[in-house]
Structure 1
Amino acid sequence: MNEDNRHVEYVAHTRKADKATQSVATHLFEASAIAKMLAGKLDLDLAGELLGLMHDFGKYSLKFQKYIYDAAGLLDPDLDEEESVPSGTKIDHSTAGAQWVYRHLKKFGVQHGIGELVGQMLGLCIASHHGAGLIDCLSPEGEAVWLKRFQKEDTLTHLAECTQNADETVKKQAEDLANEALVKSLLKPLAAILKQPDSNHKIKEFYLGCLTRFLFSCLIDADRINSADFEREEQKDWRRLTQKTNWQEAIDKLETHLANFEIRYPIDKIRRNISDTCLKRSADPQGIYTLTVPTGGGKTLASLRYAVHHACTTA
């Protein structure tokens, strides 16, 4: 920890009700545990754990700490010399973790570029976790936008400062995770995508996007669950994160709902046929399928019907 700022308590969140604080380290470790569990469903627990651990690494910057202390009305004399951030201004606290993960992972599997690909995928998840979705990798002109983000100046991302200020337990855990074992854990799904002999680049990129979005969703859920549970601690007792889903219960409720739809017009019969087709296809092997139906064709409920029945079949 920076000797000049050793007395700063690095805060991730403040609770509105009583101004209690959640430390950055606590949030990172708790979000990491949730992301690890979620990503573990596809045997990608190491990737999920690292994503959760590094997603808010940028909150170790004094600029962010000044921002959150001012916003919550907290006082810390060690932050008095830091310039206040105008209300409404956003502090970039996601790029630092993205840069750290990318730079550490790209060292592995250099010959085939797998480490860099894994670093890019995980880095994109971290860099995007406060936006509306994954950031664009390319501009309309084909410019590598993602690389610009990962090469953003340290004066803007504060990566060096965050690395200096971060809790030793966080840094050690990150170092232990960002290794060849993590890269190898992604080799199987990546090889299945990249070595498809009959697939063109667009199809392979589509599958890579799906895999990245899965990891992104694990991070988003972990971050929001932990943040919400800190704000309302009583919610923790309601969560069933480790409980196996009762798909049959969901199926029964959905089928009861669908049975209430009457066939009064030709469009109703068309919707029913589409829904029944999705039901039949739910017995197909696990894979990625598309449903192309015009507006008004009942895609939402038909695809939901497929999803719950297919999940019950493959669970």
Structure 2
Amino acid sequence: MFDFYAHSSESADKSGWQPLLEHLNNVARRAEEFAEVFGAGSWGRCAGLLHDAGKATQAFTARLEGSPARVDHSTFGARLARDRLGRLGLLISYVIVGHHGGLPDGGVQEGELHFRLKNGKIPPDVDLLPGIEFPGELSPPFKLPKDRTAFSLAFFTRMVFSCLVDADFLDTEAFCTPEKARLRTQPDGAVLLGSLQQRLNEFLLEKARSAPPTPVNTLRQAILAQCREKAPLPRGFFSLTVPTGGGKTFSSLAFALDHAVAHGLRRVIYAIPFTSIIEQNAREFQKALGEDSVLEHHCNYKESEDAEDEAYHRRRGLAAENWDAPVVVTTNVQFFESLFSNKTSRCRKLHNIAGSVIVLDEAQAIPTEYLEACLAALRELVERYGCTVVLCTATQPALDDQSSLRMALPQVQEIMDDPQRLYQGLQRTAVRFVGKLCDEDLTAQLVGELQVLCIVSTRAHARALFEKARQALGETEGLYHLSTNMYPVHRRRVLDEIRARLKEKPPCRVISTSLVEAGVDLDFPVVYRAMAGLDSIAQAAGRCNREGRLSHKGRVVVFEALNPPRMPWVRRCASRAGETLRALPDADPLGLEAMRRYFHLLYDAEDLDKKQILSLLNPKLDQDLIWPFRETARLFRFIEDETIGVIIPIEPQARALVQELRYTQFPRTTLRKLQQYTVGVRSREYAALGAAGALELIHGEFPLLCNEAAYRPEVGLCAEGGEVWNPEDLCI
């Protein structure tokens, strides 16, 4: 084995090359350490020892010396795992075969696991690894559930895969790019959650001192106190049902940190469905805990420009690869799609989820067609990987409803003692349903208000109403439009201007899509909302009299558009809301009783596992242990019709980045920065912009808006192509 190598260097005499046995042992130690968190250290060690066993051949040495011949270096280790580790050794076979190209499907077609095991070419001179001891037959480190044995084993395979690929990446990085590996260690060492707990205590104490003694702030303090009181409870599933404006963001963070410290957990992961929330929450958490302690991971992320040096930026990027940070703020898309991915880049972080507190903010926003698969994954994390999950929302989505959900969450503990009383104490609005309104009548009512927010379901409708309001007013002073047709920097600038006008109390009329509904700190006396699901209406109501400063209740007016949106999901939510209100005519339409009934009706459907993910991953197993890992990853996509990002080069910063993009050899970093100046468009809009000659493709693949007239400062990108809807501004 000492005559074989894992990686080469520039030294011609091979003195600086990495011996294969050294690499295998290094990876085995790391993978064992990672997997030991969930009791599977021997699995991680076996995967590490065998993953590159096929490099013990003269053919691979020749490749390191410059031979162009390709060498299959993974099949040999996969066969050894199958033959020497018992029946479940096939799980290690999946992991080894996939440690570069991703977990394969398990069938007998070309490229699939059993095809590779049967037909993979093993060089005749491959070394049989003298000195490596096998543990004999492997067994799972936990009891498997009878109703989803196959699903649990598939999930376990993906977790062991994560341990191996992260260990392999880290050891390869340490040898090939040691300067990069050194950046992974923070200058002051790892930040302990206990120290972050103390920083949060100080931050919250100062926040309480500076807050005016209003009834709303008094209730917020009571909510925070209950969260901290319940934090020592045993690990498991929790719900935090707090009305909008109740301060649940910091209260849930306090519970998560206190709970993690009480139970010796490793990190806090905050998963958020909406771009508007993730950027705001991450900034608030960084103020409280320090910028180095909070990793923000999503497609629109941009490091602050006043960061000290380039090394800081690179450390943050490296931490995002495997979530090696004490507090991670990410998106539902990133979190759940990684749990069902087969790719090395996405799965690499999974082992760091084990032993964490996972806060699902706005839990009701999990796409219904993937709900049962998501619930099954959450159950695995809690029951077998030492996690705690907190469902944090103003509109609790009844995920424990045994009558309508096959994968209903067991024993969900509510953190608040009396959510109904809390809801009544924070009730600051009166909701009125007015039936159908044409755009002309709606516009007349909006311009008749001094300060008003109107939320509709489509970008096309928002733009049309804005144009009508401008015509009615004869000006745009104090009139604003918000939608994802505006790039993120533009949206934030408009939101800041809106907040300033609301404080100064001049006219302020805003027409928006649903992107303002969750987590955006706006406070209007009057809110109009197009008919939608009760959860959306409740979120819209959270932008009305948010701080309780009015002497009366804020007004929330729910109307039906004459031309309702065509999207089936929006129609379904509105229909179920109507059924709920008819069934409970005397109930508060946004109260807990109505909300639970609404979600019961919404979830009573056959499409809670629309892509049959559970069926694919929970088959009746035979001796071949076949799972379609690659096919599952292809199907499990929260955003199926992905948008195409068009760069808007209007601002000087954007133009400078575009110039950098034109000439850089490494566009990824520049593209990440340009996300702040990018608008996502659907395929029809993209085709229309292309046909109009409004696009330039940089390097043949990065779309740039070359006709700036197509982007208007009031409404953003104006692309023809029909109705486009981005209901919750999901990001990846």
Residues 140-289 of structure 1 mapped to structure 2, 5 A cutoff:
143=107, 148-152=112-116, 156-158=120-122, 161=124, 164-166=125-127, 170-173=129-132, 176-180=133-137, 183=138, 186-189=139-142, 192-195=143-146, 200-201=147-148, 204-233=149-178, 235=181, 239=185, 246-251=192-197, 285-287=234-236
> Which residue, 23, 27, 35 being the options, matches 1:27?
23
**TM-score by structure 2 length?**
0.28
Note the C-alpha offset of 1:122: 1.6
Verify: 1:63 aligned to 2:59, yes or no: yes
Note the C-alpha offset of 1:39: 1.8
Verify: 1:103 aligned to 2:73, yes or no: no
Note the C-alpha offset of 1:64: 2.9
Kept in 2: contact 1:58–1:157 (CA 8 A): no
Note the C-alpha offset of 1:15: 3.5
Report the AA paired with residue 25 of structure 2. F
Residues 6-155 of structure 1 mapped to structure 2, 5 A cutoff:
9-15=3-9, 20-70=16-66, 84-85=68-69, 91-106=71-86, 116-117=87-88, 119-132=89-102, 134-137=103-106, 143=107, 148-152=112-116
Residues 290-301 of structure 1 mapped to structure 2, 5 A cutoff:
none
Kept in 2: contact 1:28–1:54 (CA 8 A): yes
Q: Which has the higher strand share?
A: 2
**TM-score by structure 1 length?**
0.58
* Per-residue Cα deviation, 1:12-70 (whole angstroms, up to 9, x for no partner): 11246998311211111111121122222233222211111111112224333332221
Report the Cα distance in structure 2 between the residues aligned to 1:104 and 1:148, rounded to whole angstroms: 21
RMSD of aligned residue pairs (Cα, Å): 5.0
Matched residue SS, 1:129:
coil
* Per-residue Cα deviation, 1:164-222 (whole angstroms, up to 9, x for no partner): 433x7x4331xx22414xx2xx3441xx1244xxxx33xx3333233222212211221
Change (3 A) 1:208 1:22: same
Report the Cα distance in structure 1 between the residues aligned to 2:46 and 2:94, rounded to whole angstroms: 13
Kept in 1: contact 2:60–2:71 (CA 8 A): yes
Equivalence for 1:269: none
Matched residue SS, 1:165:
coil
Report the Cα distance in structure 1 between the residues aligned to 2:105 and 2:250, rounded to whole angstroms: 30
Change (3 A) 1:206 1:61: same
Kept in 2: contact 1:93–1:157 (CA 8 A): no
* Per-residue Cα deviation, 1:271-309 (whole angstroms, up to 9, x for no partner): xxxx9999898655445x699xxxxxxxx9999877655
In structure 1, the gaps of 5 or more residues are 2-7, 71-81, 107-115, 138-142, 262-274, 292-299
Change (3 A) 1:22 1:281: farther
Aligned residues: 250
Comparing 251-260 with 54-63, greater Cα deviation is found at: 251-260
Note the C-alpha offset of 1:310: 4.2
Change (3 A) 1:11 1:286: same
Equivalence for 1:270: none
Report the AA paired with residue 177 of structure 1. F
Report the Cα distance in structure 2 between the residues aligned to 1:96 and 1:104, rounded to whole angstroms: 12
Equivalence for 1:312: 261
Matched residue SS, 1:12:
strand
Equivalence for 1:264: none
- Over the matched positions of the two proteins, sequence identity in percent amounts to 25
* Per-residue Cα deviation, 1:85-143 (whole angstroms, up to 9, x for no partner): 2xxxx64322221121012122xxxxxxxxx13x12222111111134x3334xxxxx5
Change (3 A) 1:144 1:151: closer
Report the AA paired with residue 136 of structure 1. D
Report the AA paired with residue 171 of structure 1. P
Equivalence for 1:73: none
Q: Which has the higher helix share?
A: 1
Kept in 1: contact 2:29–2:45 (CA 8 A): yes
Report the Cα distance in structure 2 between the residues aligned to 1:12 and 1:213, rounded to whole angstroms: 24
In structure 2, the gaps of 5 or more residues are 208-223, 240-248, 265-732
Report the Cα distance in structure 2 between the residues aligned to 1:209 and 1:60, rounded to whole angstroms: 30
Equivalence for 1:78: none
Matched residue SS, 1:172:
coil
Kept in 1: contact 2:27–2:171 (CA 8 A): yes
Comparing 216-225 with 300-309, greater Cα deviation is found at: 300-309
Structure of higher CA gyration radius: 2
